[in-house]
């Protein structure tokens, strides 16, 4: 498999501040790669270095094996879909999409065919003469993507383009973007702070924190086996506890809740438990199950995503627990006593 | 509803008074005057004679054409000179300094045209600052005649009017999102293409509204052409002034005034058509 993008020890400094701190990764051709991180983690800086709007302070950046040092944005085989889309308001849909092709001085007939093809692909045939200000949010989105894709870039960079859409449309566009990427096969690099966007669409996700990559993995592995405590806390929901001691295979949390966890070869500082990892009132025959007695504090009804907040009797710690989809626990009341079990593999421990 | 209506009309009164008393009435008076002619017997009769004078004497319509062309030229120069400044203040300098620098830029307006014009005289005259400097460094042997020429007049007009171009242009540039420039560059556009295809079309309303202000100020200015232009640089406002105050021919003066109004309105109308702008949009 060839790499379309290779990043080797790339660092970006603004004064003394390291926005991106010796990051290395490769992106395979034709993949959907996401960079997930909170605001200020350096993901936008990284994207701007790939597109050429920021210079690399240290390290190497190769696209299709070619160093991009000193090559300005207009000559790089990558295109960006900006966060605010940056459509040209004084041009209609057709002219927006044709803008890049015209810069390449292609014959008019070829420009026209390629624009028409691209508009058909994103489902905007018939909108050619419309002003971009007259379009809906989703349509503007598609114009922005078409405008970049029509140039057949090696990589399409997307800078949180779904951020401004309302929730329903965002859910819809997530699926649409993934399908579009599969269909045309261009490599997408997608920047987002929304973990659901990253998990749903990507083949691989890099989690970024304070200028560094914490983990690069498939969405499934990222969720199942977070490599660091940051990833465990950032991706998906999790109950987080400080661990104060680990003696003879027994963990003790700050408030005194004791849990068994065998064979750790380090002194853990934190543990994480996913809300859906708990089994309520487990049957006896399950093995390696930690049983915890709790009292239901509140019920957080949210349709298929309903949870309860419960207090651990032993330590007064609060935990969130997902309710199973069946109606088994429908008449659970606040103040009820309940026993919850968790498999010891689902207790994730980290050094810090 | 009723109460709201009465407030509306109450507030409309000053505007209407201002328009009717100070603008419409004198103009109507001038218009009637421009069509009147005093016969040898001292009777007033309707006549087109005042307007005919303009076309019969070559000096009048030559000045008229010159005024029009120079006004367009100065407006264009004002754009060329101020656009980089406006771009610098809005896009290059940070927000922190641009406010202060804009304030500095507007200081000449506080001083008044007459004073700045005399300032230019000190700079441009034969034994003035510029000539002295050029002779001192040995670039020229004898002073270059700069004052009382079309050159000095153009400079005076430009200096007096160009700041009025900057403000609307800056507000247009301010609303231009930087990501549009980056997007164009990302799509392969050169700096020149970005300027021509993105920045200029986007800021056209600001440029046109600034252009109209500059053009009107220049075409109707009297001080700079009269003082800096001297005898060799005739300006149409001077002809009007002479009609009213030198030869006391108010009828011809009024006719000339209307011709100037017609001229400036026509040029602005053509400019709006050419740039595809609407007056309401430019005015806001």
Report residue A1's pLDDT band, with 50, 70 and 90 as the boundaries: low
Model confidence over A120-147: pLDDT tens digits? 988 899 999 999 999 998 899 999 999 9
pLDDT of B138 > 90? The answer is: no
Cα–Cα distance measured from residue A94 to residue B29, given in angstroms and rounded to the nearest whole number: 54
Determine, for residues A151 and B187 on separate chains, whether the beta-carbon distance falls below 8 Å: yes
Determine, for residues A86 and B182 on separate chains, whether the beta-carbon distance falls below 8 Å: yes
Q: Considering only residues B49 and B79, tell me which one the structure prediction assigns the higher pLDDT.
A: B79
pLDDT of A327 > 90? The answer is: no
Least CB-CB distance to A103: which of B180, B182, B193?
Answer: B193
pLDDT of B284 > 60? The answer is: no
The two beta strands, A204-209 and A212-217, are antiparallel
Q: B71 near B160, Cβ under 8 Å? A: no
Least CB-CB distance to B179: which of A86, A103, A148?
Answer: A86
pLDDT of B281 > 80? The answer is: no
Mean pLDDT of chain B: 89
Question: Number of A:B CB contacts under 8 A?
Answer: 55
pLDDT of A257 > 90? The answer is: no
Contacts of B202 in chain A (CB under 8 A): 89-90
Instruction: Spell out the domain ranges in chain B.
Output: 57-283
- Quote the minimal CA–CA distance from B101 to chain A in Å: 26
Q: What is the pLDDT of residue A207?
A: 95
Model confidence over A338-352: pLDDT tens digits? 999 999 889 999 987
Q: What is the mean pLDDT of residues A151-165?
A: 91
Tell which phi-psi region holds residue A160, choosing left (phi > 0), alpha (psi between -120 and 50) or beta: left
Q: A189 near A153, Cβ under 8 Å? A: no
Least CB-CB distance to A79: which of B186, B193, B198?
Answer: B186
Q: What is the pLDDT of residue A326?
A: 79
Least confident of A102-106, A161-165, B235-239: A161-165
Topology alike, domains A3-233 and A237-350: no
Instruction: Spell out the domain ranges in chain A.
Output: 3-233, 237-350
E-strand ranges in B166-248 read none
Determine, for residues B180 and A73 on separate chains, whether the beta-carbon distance falls below 8 Å: no
Sign of CA dihedral B113, B116, B120, B122: positive
Model confidence over B154-193: pLDDT tens digits? 999 999 898 899 989 999 999 999 999 999 999 999 999 9
CATH superfamily of this structure's domain A3-233: P-loop containing nucleotide triphosphate hydrolases (3.40.50.300)
E-strand ranges in A74-142 read 78-81
pLDDT of B4 > 70? The answer is: no
CB proximity list for B244: less than 8 A, separation 6 or greater = B250, B253
E-strand ranges in B205-253 read none
CATH number listed for the domain at residues A237-350: 2.40.50.140
User: Which pair of structure tokens corresponds to residue B214?
Assistant: 């500059």
Least CB-CB distance to A86: which of B183, B188, B190?
Answer: B183
At the topology level, CATH places domain B57-283 in MetI-like fold (1.10.3720)
Determine, for residues B189 and A104 on separate chains, whether the beta-carbon distance falls below 8 Å: no
Q: Does A86 touch chain B (CB under 8 A)?
A: yes
Place of tokens 């209506």: B5
Determine, for residues B182 and A100 on separate chains, whether the beta-carbon distance falls below 8 Å: no
CB proximity list for A311: less than 8 A, separation 6 or greater = A294, A295, A297, A317, A318
Least confident of A66-70, A89-93, B36-40, B196-200: B36-40
Phi and psi at residue A203, to the nearest 5°: -80, -40
Report residue A210's pLDDT band, with 50, 70 and 90 as the boundaries: very high
| Closest residue, chain A, to B179 (C-alpha) | A86
pLDDT of B231 > 80? The answer is: no
| Closest residue, chain A, to B190 (C-alpha) | A74
Q: Considering only residues B147 and A49, tell me which one the structure prediction assigns the higher pLDDT.
A: A49
């Amino acid at each position: 498999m060839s790499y379309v993008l290779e990043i080797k020890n790339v660092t970006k400094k603004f004064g003394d501040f390291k926005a991106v701190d010796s990051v290395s990764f490769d992106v395979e051709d034709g993949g959907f790669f996401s960079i997930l991180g909170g605001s200020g983690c350096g993901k936008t800086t990284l994207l701007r270095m790939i597109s050429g709007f920021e210079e690399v302070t240290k390290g190497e950046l190769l696209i299709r094996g070619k160093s991009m040092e000193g090559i300005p944005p207009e000559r790089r085989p990558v295109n960006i879909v900006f966060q605010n889309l940056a459509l040209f308001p004084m041009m209609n849909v057709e002219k927006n999409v044709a803008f890049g092709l015209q810069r390449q001085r292609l014959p008019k007939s070829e420009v026209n065919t390629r624009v028409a093809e691209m508009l058909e692909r994103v489902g905007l045939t018939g909108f050619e003469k419309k002003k971009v200000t007259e379009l809906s949010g989703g349509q503007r989105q598609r114009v922005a993507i078409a405008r970049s894709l029509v140039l057949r870039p090696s990589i399409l960079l997307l800078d949180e383009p779904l951020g401004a859409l309302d929730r329903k449309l965002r859910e819809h566009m997530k699926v649409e973007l993934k399908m579009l990427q599969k269909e045309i096969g261009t490599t997408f690099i997608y920047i987002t702070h929304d973990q659901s966007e990253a998990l749903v669409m990507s083949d691989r996700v890099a989690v970024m924190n304070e200028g560094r990559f914490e983990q690069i993995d498939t969405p499934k592995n990222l969720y199942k086996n977070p490599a660091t405590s940051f990833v465990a806390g950032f991706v998906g929901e999790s109950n987080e506890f400080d661990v104060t001691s680990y003696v003879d295979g027994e963990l003790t949390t700050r408030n005194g809740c004791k849990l068994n966890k065998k064979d750790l070869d380090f002194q853990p500082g934190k543990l994480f438990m996913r809300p859906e990892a708990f089994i309520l009132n487990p049957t006896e025959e399950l093995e390696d199950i930690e049983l915890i007695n709790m009292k239901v504090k509140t019920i957080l009804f949210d349709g298929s995503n309903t949870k309860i907040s419960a207090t651990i009797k032993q330590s007064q710690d609060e935990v969130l627990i997902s309710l199973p989809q069946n109606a088994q626990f429908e008449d659970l009341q606040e103040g009820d006593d309940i026993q919850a079990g968790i498999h010891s593999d689902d207790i994730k421990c980290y050094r810090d | 509803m009723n109460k709201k209506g009465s407030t509306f009309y109450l507030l409309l009164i000053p505007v209407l008074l201002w328009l009717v008393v100070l603008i419409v009435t004198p103009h109507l008076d001038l218009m009637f005057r421009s069509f009147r002619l005093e016969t040898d017997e001292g009777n007033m009769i309707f006549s087109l004679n005042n307007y005919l004078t303009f076309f019969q004497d070559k000096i009048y319509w030559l000045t008229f054409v010159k005024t029009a062309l120079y006004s367009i030229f100065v407006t264009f120069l004002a754009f060329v000179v101020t656009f980089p400044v406006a771009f610098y203040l809005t896009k290059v300098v940070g927000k922190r300094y641009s406010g202060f620098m804009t304030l500095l830029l507007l200081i000449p307006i506080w001083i008044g045209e007459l004073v700045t014009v005399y300032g230019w005289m000190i700079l441009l005259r034969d034994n003035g600052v510029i000539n002295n400097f050029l002779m001192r460094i040995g670039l020229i042997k004898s002073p270059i005649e700069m004052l009382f020429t079309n050159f000095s007049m153009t400079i005076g007009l430009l200096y007096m009017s160009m700041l009025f171009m900057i403000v609307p242009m800056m507000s247009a540039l301010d609303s231009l999102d930087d990501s549009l420039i980056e997007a164009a560059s990302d799509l392969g556009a050169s700096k020149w293409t970005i300027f021509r295809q993105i920045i200029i079309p986007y800021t056209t309303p600001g440029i046109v509204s600034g252009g109209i202000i500059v053009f009107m100020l220049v075409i109707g200015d009297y001080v700079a052409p009269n003082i800096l232009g001297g005898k060799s640089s005739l300006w149409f406002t001077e002809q009007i002034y002479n009609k009213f105050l030198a030869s006391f021919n108010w009828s011809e003066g009024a006719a000339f005034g209307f011709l100037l109004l017609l001229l400036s309105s026509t040029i602005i109308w053509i400019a709006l058509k050419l740039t595809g702008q609407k007056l309401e949009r430019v005015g806001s």
